[in-house]
Amino acid sequence: MLAQLGRAAMLPLWSAQLLSGVKSFERNDIIGSRWLNEHGLHTTRVSLAHALANARRRRLAHLVSPADRESFERDGFVVRRDFLPSAQFAMLRDQIKNYRGPLREITEGDTVMRKIALDPATLAQLPSLDEVLRSPVWRGLIRYIGSRDAEPVVWIQSILQHAAVGPSDPQTAMHADTFHPTVKAWLFLTDVAEDSGPFTYVPGSHRLTPQRLEWERRMSVSARRSPNAENRQGSFRIEPRELRALGLPDPISLAVPANTLVVADTFGFHARGTSTRQSLRVEVWAYGRRSPFIPWTAFDFWTGAALARRSLLGFQLGDLSERLGLKPHRWRARRGVSAFDPA
């Protein structure tokens, strides 16, 4: 009885979330409804979000070069080698190497991840980053691929594979991040070898083909009861053998030298490649995600600084809820460590 009342009370919120980026099949009974998804709820959200993103992208197309636009349309990602002039890149890498301010660390499976939030105080100590954040190529690609004229959330991120004891890194399973077009960017600060966890992507998998839409429908029907937590949360995993049936090629590994920028639509299938040994990947990492059902490209009032403060606040709330005994906080605060230090 109480549970039913609780559900009734949640209905207005769950309904409103249909027109937002909320993707969990587990935490929203409407999004997760088997019956509604059999009758096209999920596929309607997917199709509408794609139509709107395509229209917004067309309006932002002038922000990128014709060559980059063509690469993106074909592959779902853009690769720019030698992104910064080499002296500037060396300066950026050295500044980040020498930075030992507060950062956060999490262990996911056998992988350790570090993140440095770029609030104004931190940015003041990393002045070379300005060159990246203000670059028209960086800004244009993130806006065009993300289909919004909006600032991304930016971090310095380190990925240390095989740095902990545990099951395999969950990011190494091929997946789509969410149900709508969305952008992530990596400016690699280390060389990324084929066998040390490169970003991998299935070229062309950003397109919403009839096969993909049918796959989305099938996945949505069973997502709520899936044994896989990521599927329940709406980041659908795909088995390599399913790619063929969707008319897709094998994934390619973006094993690239340092100073390469990669910007991708992570509705396309991607994964972190596995590493055969202990490895370290350091990058300036960005992601831009806004409500997928907004028809316009502009009117986003989040500044980079406000987004960084929001990230830091999230960490502090996590710390607080641990202190109150509500939930352990998985992002540990660390000091005196560089993004480049071993685990």
Ligand X SMILES: O=C(O)CCC(=O)C(=O)O
By a kind-dependent CB cut-off of 5 to 8 A, residue 297 interacts, out of ligand X, Fe ion, none, with none
Sign of the dihedral through C-alpha 121, 122, 124, 130: negative
Which of 223, 262 has the CB closer to ligand X? 262
For residue 254, which of 187, 173, 177 has the smallest C-alpha distance? 187
Which of 275, 297 has the CB closer to ligand X? 275
Options 21-29, 64-72, 213-221, 264-272: segment touching ligand X (CB under 6 A): 264-272
Q: From residue 117 to residue 156, what is the string marking binding to ligand X with x (rule CB under 6 A)?
A: ----------------------------------------
Which of 180, 184 has the CB closer to ligand X? 184
Smallest separation (angstroms) from Fe ion to the CB of 53: 17
Which of 30, 159 has the CB closer to Fe ion? 159
Of 272, 289, 290, 329, the residue at the interface with ligand X (CB under 6 A) is 272
Residues 177-196, interacting with ligand X (CB under 6 A): 177, 184
Terminal Cα-to-Cα distance of the chain (whole angstroms): 50
Q: Does 199 bind ligand X (CB under 6 A)?
A: yes
Of 148, 270, 290, 329, the residue at the interface with ligand X (CB under 6 A) is 270
Pairing of strands 261-265, 270-272: unpaired
Smallest separation (angstroms) from ligand X to the CB of 231: 14
Smallest separation (angstroms) from ligand X to the CB of 64: 21
Say which residue the tokens 């986003």 belong to. 300
Q: Does 265 bind Fe ion (CB under 5 A)?
A: no
Q: Is the separation of the CB atoms in 264 and 200 below 8 Å?
A: no
For residue 188, which of 105, 323, 53, 93 has the smallest C-alpha distance? 93
Per the DSSP assignment, residues forming a β-bridge with 80 are 261
Options 177-185, 220-228, 246-254, 297-305: segment touching Fe ion (CB under 5 A): 177-185
For residue 285, which of 144, 163, 117 has the smallest C-alpha distance? 117
The secondary structure of residue 196, as a DSSP letter, is: B
| Residue type present at position 332 | R
For residue 64, which of 130, 128, 146, 129 has the smallest C-alpha distance? 146
Which of 33, 266 has the CB closer to ligand X? 266
Q: Is the separation of the CB atoms in 179 and 20 below 8 Å?
A: no
Smallest separation (angstroms) from ligand X to the CB of 316: 23
- Sequence-distant contacts of 45-50: CB under 8 A, at least 24 apart: 45/18, 45/179, 45/180, 46/179, 46/180, 46/208, 46/213, 46/216, 47/208, 47/213, 48/293, 49/179, 49/180, 49/181, 49/292, 49/293, 50/180, 50/181, 50/208
Of 177, 216, 265, 283, the residue at the interface with Fe ion (CB under 5 A) is 177
Smallest separation (angstroms) from Fe ion to the CB of 185: 13
Q: From residue 186 to residue 225, what is the string marking binding to Fe ion with x (rule CB under 5 A)?
A: ----------------------------------------
By a kind-dependent CB cut-off of 5 to 8 A, residue 272 interacts, out of ligand X, Fe ion, none, with ligand X
CA distance 30 to 25: 8
Q: Does 266 bind ligand X (CB under 6 A)?
A: yes
Q: Does 237 bind ligand X (CB under 6 A)?
A: no
Options 121-129, 220-228, 266-274, 328-336: segment touching ligand X (CB under 6 A): 266-274
By a kind-dependent CB cut-off of 5 to 8 A, residue 184 interacts, out of ligand X, Fe ion, none, with ligand X
Say which residue the tokens 């990521």 belong to. 230
Q: Is the separation of the CB atoms in 257 and 193 below 8 Å?
A: no
Residues near Fe ion (CB under 5 A): 177
